[in-house]
Structure 1
Amino acid sequence: MVVSLPVPTHASSDVLSQAVKSSDSTFKVLYFGLHGRGELIRALLAFAGAKWEELTADWPAQKSHTPFGVLPVVYETTSDGTVLELAESQAIERYLSNKFHLYGKNEYEHHKVEQYFTSIDTVWLAFRPKVIDAAPENRVEEANKFYDETISKIAAIHEEHLKKNGSNGHYVGDSFTLADLKTAVFVDRILLLRPAGAKEAPFSAEKTPNIWKVYETVNSHPSYAAWKESQRYQELSAGTKGIFKF
């Protein structure tokens, strides 16, 4: 039996755009029992203190009932009962960031957030095929190479920008943004998926002090800290290591 999914409200874009303005929506996240492409979505919801829960992924039975046949999918129920179906991980992340005011104070700040968010996402997308999907006997070599040739170059660019912003734990001004959360989540994934025997992970207070400051600042946020300390978060970490055999 297929685990039932919420039924999206069918209405005009004008009607739905009004529903989007709801400030007390509830959310349901459909994704697998690992961090993966659902991690930042969960992080945004937890960080914002949103009311959310996870749906059981009954895949592939649910596949044909999703917009693109891929996960994650998020279902938002607004204060008037409208159900919005949100698909594609980056689109969901951007949507939630707009909703939770994590895009800076003006258009220029919005662009800077996008810049550094996209930069980190590009590195993350490269990490999987080069390291996670590498043959087990090659993982240590590939991880060390990735740390030296890819992460170190991007980290240097981010370090310089963060220094110019005052080394205050934020990418833009003195407020939390999508770029902050994206970087904190990425650091966690690199630390979690470090192959046994590989050199020390490329992020630390000594090696990348400004990125580490962002990491610590995000992790000190009460709602986000509570999420990371939760049993579910630990289950997702274990599931991630188990699925990828780390």
Structure 2
Amino acid sequence: MTKRTSVSGSGSLKDVDMAAAEQSVKKLKVDQPVYAYPKDNYTIQSEFLKKSKFEVLYMATRARAEVPRLLLEYVGATYTSAAPVDWPAGKKDTPFGLLPVLTHFKPDGSAFTVPEVPALVRYLARLFGLVGGTLEEDALLDACFQCAVQNVLDVLVMDIWMKPDPKKKECIDAAFEKLAPYFDGFERYLVKNGSNGYLLGEKTTFAEFPWFDWMDYFYSEYPEHMNALVSETVRPAVHKLYKRFGSNPRIRAYIEGGRWEYRPASSFIGLYSTGVSVDDWEQAYEFYAKTLELQCVENVQPEHGGEGGRYLEFVANEQEKTKFTVYCAGKSEGSKNDIPKHNTDISFAVRDVNETYSRLVKKGVEFKMPPTEMPWGSMAQFTDPDGNVLTINSLPVAVSKDK
């Protein structure tokens, strides 16, 4: 049999504990979405399906396996996302020597394996009732599904990914021009259904998942092009479907929660600190430590700062996780890195400063300071639309204190 490994990062194959996944939904702190769809709170009713387990066998990447994964997340099924350890040797153990492959482990101990994305997605859709009620409705769903998984994919492959320079603007422009008619057709079907965020009545169907997956990918990789393709004013019915899926608690937790390595957690962990910039750090230390009686937990001289520069962290009590920082840039003459002077500072903790920097630059964010190593970790600074300076900071490392 094909050897498998979990792609959750643990190195061992195990079923996803959906109870834990539901907890991640509850812990996901998000604002109330603009579009609220109570009917999307799917609950598995069948005891057979409650006790069933599924495995999606594919490489540790999104690609062709993402639609069945999204569907399993949406319904709240228990499933494993697994990757082959030795794929060349394991090809012979799959029906057609291709991935992904879905395996349904039934409560009676038997297992049923389904290859090919269209077949395995429709199998799941029938199990969980995400299909139409008539031949005409199923034909509509089949057509929309096929357009997304085949036609859209063909354009991406031929007009971007197979080009010598896939990042060339002309290639991307041409590809999105070819994609427009497909999104026009999908828009017309959605409008015919009432522009309510659904393709069929007020019911989620399997045909919607690949469209959401593509849009999620496009907004991440080609935000400028995607905003011209789908927005509240351009193909608004498609945009509403995208927002509906994005507001689903399980889908959002899956995308942002980091349970799988191919779906890393959101770059931003939380607010690390808020503070001020000062000209005289010793005077500031006296005020915050002595007058306000805050506890100083960090007092270091930045290696890349100017002469007389200082970085201090304060907390009100030992339980406080968000720091209040005081930063003195010092004299910039001769410094290796001239950190912008500003009156206040807000710093977000991120998992990886370099990765977050690359992601934000791709989205058009302007950085005043690129990723730089500091005594307390890596940091970078950028501005918001109004010019406010914001900082991203890696998880702090231990440093010596001299106060």
* TM-score of the pair, normalised by structure 1: 0.81
2:232 aligned partner = 205
2:49 aligned partner = 23
Query: Which residue, 91, 100, 105 being the options, matches 2:128?
Result: 100
Letter in 2 for 1:79: P
1:128 aligned partner = 157
1:114 aligned partner = 142
How is 1:50-199 mapped onto 2 (pairs within 5 angstroms)?
50-58=77-85, 59-126=87-154, 127-136=156-165, 139-148=168-177, 150-194=178-222
Report the CA distance shift for 1:237/1:110 in structure 2 as closer, same or farther (over 3 A).
same
8 Å CA contact 1:140, 1:198 repeated in 2:
no
User: Which structure has the greater CA radius of gyration?
Assistant: 2
How is 1:216-231 mapped onto 2 (pairs within 5 angstroms)?
216-231=243-258
Distance in 1, matches of 2:62 and 2:190, equals 26
Could you list the per-position Cα deviations for residues 25-56 of structure 1 after superposition, in whole angstroms to 9, with x for gaps in the alignment? 10111111111110101111111110001223
The runs of at least 4 consecutive aligned structure 1 residues that moved more than 4 Å come to 197-201
2:68 aligned partner = 41
Letter in 1 for 2:187: E
Letter in 2 for 1:183: W
Q: In the TM superposition, what is the alpha-carbon distance from 1:176 to its structure 2 partner?
A: 0.4
Distance in 1, matches of 2:72 and 2:135, equals 23
Letter in 1 for 2:3: V
Larger fraction in strand: 2
* TM-score of the pair, normalised by structure 2: 0.51
Looking at both structures, which has the greater relative contact order when contacts are Cα pairs under 8 Å and sequence separation is at least 6?
1
Could you list the per-position Cα deviations for residues 110-154 of structure 1 after superposition, in whole angstroms to 9, with x for gaps in the alignment? 121112111222332211232122212664211101111x21112
Three-state SS of the structure 2 residue aligned to 1:56 is strand
Identity in percent: 27
Distance in 2, matches of 1:182 and 1:175, equals 16
Distance in 2, matches of 1:228 and 1:175, equals 22
Distance in 2, matches of 1:137 and 1:38, equals 23
Letter in 2 for 1:146: A
Larger fraction in helix: 1
8 Å CA contact 1:30, 1:55 repeated in 2:
yes
Report the CA distance shift for 1:139/1:103 in structure 2 as closer, same or farther (over 3 A).
farther
Distance in 1, matches of 2:259 and 2:237, equals 29
Report the CA distance shift for 1:36/1:218 in structure 2 as closer, same or farther (over 3 A).
same
Equivalenced residues, count: 223
1:15 aligned partner = none
Query: Structure 1 unaligned runs (5+)?
Result: 7-20
Q: In the TM superposition, what is the alpha-carbon distance from 1:222 to its structure 2 partner?
A: 2.3
8 Å CA contact 1:31, 1:38 repeated in 2:
yes
Q: In the TM superposition, what is the alpha-carbon distance from 1:102 to its structure 2 partner?
A: 0.8
8 Å CA contact 1:41, 1:93 repeated in 2:
yes
Three-state SS of the structure 2 residue aligned to 1:55 is strand
Distance in 1, matches of 2:131 and 2:125, equals 6
Q: In the TM superposition, what is the alpha-carbon distance from 1:165 to its structure 2 partner?
A: 0.9
Distance in 1, matches of 2:149 and 2:210, equals 8
1:13 aligned partner = none
8 Å CA contact 1:104, 1:175 repeated in 2:
no
8 Å CA contact 1:130, 1:142 repeated in 2:
yes
Report the CA distance shift for 1:171/1:137 in structure 2 as closer, same or farther (over 3 A).
closer
Could you list the per-position Cα deviations for residues 81-136 of structure 1 after superposition, in whole angstroms to 9, with x for gaps in the alignment? 11111111111111111111111232222121112111222332211232122212
Letter in 2 for 1:96: L
Using the TM superposition, name which of 204-213 and 30-39 deviates more: 204-213
Letter in 2 for 1:204: S
Query: Structure 2 unaligned runs (5+)?
Result: 6-12, 14-46, 265-354, 356-361, 363-403
